Amino acid sequence: MRRRTLLTGVAAAAAAGGASMLASGPDYQEAAAALWSARDPASFEGLVHYASLAANSHNSQPWRFRKTTEGVTILPDLARALPEADGDNHHLFASLGCAAENLVLAAGASGRSAALVFDPSGGGSVRIALGHAGEKHPLFDAILERQCTRSAYDGRTVPAPDLARLAAATKVGGTDITIVEDRARVEQVLELILLADAAQVSNPAFAAELKSWLRFNARAAVASGDGLYSAASGNPTLPTFLGRFMFDRFFTPERENDRYAGQVRSSAGLAVIHSEGDGPAHWVDAGRACQRFALQATALGIRHAHLNQPVEVASVRPQLQALLGLGGRRPDMVLRFGYGPAMPRSLRRPISAVIEA
């Protein structure tokens, strides 16, 4: 379950209650293997396939894809917005940016160029014009391997040349990245993560929204093709009724903060993506940058996971901005990175559910 990585106590309680503790059963593994596999990037469906494998907030997949005369337009699916976690739709547009970045890379893999503009009309959309003169970028090969890895990492540091490659890959438009490795500084950022996390976890509306996106077992995850599957966060799988019951009892600021503190301290460092401006066009660029960070990290064998609480809680965001000396720049995303084991993959809805006439 996203960062709200549940409940140390759930495992013990569920075991005591004899609940099914099966992790990802055969159906889930089959679905994940079929999903995270190659398609022909020359086709529209192939482009949408790669785009929809992008990172996105709560795995809500808040996007629709329209074939146009110039190429592809990615539209927001506001029915999948997250009003509590993402009141201004920042993450929603960032998620469109993540998808757009994958789509651009897939276009290149089929020898096409891709020019991207943000169209503010209507609810805002990302228009991608395809041309003939493109080439495959090495990051394309990381699309099928990338995942947000919410495991504990092993504490090893990342070599400086790899950090430089991560930083270089992450600059899109007016975005930039600040990497925090100094342990005292990491602790200062962690303090803000925990402050914001406690505020969110204590908010019943936030908890209810998160709960609605949790998939407590493989069957529920496969059936919906969206949301946050327990095992992908290293949590036990449970029948849905029991998962919800446990969530209500164990989703507390103390438990969540403990988990996050451990995860951050196991990481090599933190990365904060920030933008020169604010508003949907900048958020799309931040999403593109975030996806490139994730792909470059994957290509280098480096794991990553999001910890966006201090950018989501509006009262904490200025503190992060001040701590990192960002001036007027808007912090968009906070990620941890390091080395650790892979987790089960996330799922997606079928392409037919996200393609629009």
Ligand X SMILES: Cc1cc2nc3c(=O)[nH]c(=O)nc-3n(C[C@H](O)[C@H](O)[C@H](O)COP(=O)(O)O)c2cc1C
Which positions touch ligand X (CB under 6 A)? 2-3, 55-59, 91, 94-95, 98, 147-148, 150, 228, 290, 305-308, 346
Residue 51: HSE in the Cβ half-sphere, 13 Å Cα cutoff: 31
| Min separation Cβ 24 and ligand X, Å | 14
| Min separation Cβ 16 and ligand X, Å | 28
d(CA 136, CA 118): 23
CA quadruple 28, 8, 337, 321: dihedral sign: positive
| Min separation Cβ 86 and ligand X, Å | 8
**Cβ closest to ligand X, residue 177 vs residue 307:** 307
| Min separation Cβ 90 and ligand X, Å | 7
| Min separation Cβ 42 and ligand X, Å | 24
CB 60 within 8 A of CB 80: yes
**Cβ closest to ligand X, residue 83 vs residue 131:** 83
**Cβ closest to ligand X, residue 130 vs residue 153:** 153
CB 351 within 8 A of CB 161: no
């941890």: which residue's tokens?
336
**Cβ closest to ligand X, residue 306 vs residue 330:** 306
Token pair, residue 288, equals 């593109």
Nearest to 150 by CA among 340, 311, 310, 347: 340
The conformation of residue 138, written as its DSSP 8-state character, comes to G
| Min separation Cβ 95 and ligand X, Å | 5
Instruction: Determine the length of the chain.
Output: 357
User: Measured in Å, how far apart are the chain's first and last C-alpha atoms?
Assistant: 33
**Cβ closest to ligand X, residue 228 vs residue 354:** 228
d(CA 42, CA 103): 11
d(CA 8, CA 235): 8
| Min separation Cβ 305 and ligand X, Å | 6
The conformation of residue 103, written as its DSSP 8-state character, comes to H
| DSSP H or E stretch at residue 175 | strand 175-180
**Cβ closest to ligand X, residue 72 vs residue 210:** 210
**Cβ closest to ligand X, residue 6 vs residue 290:** 290
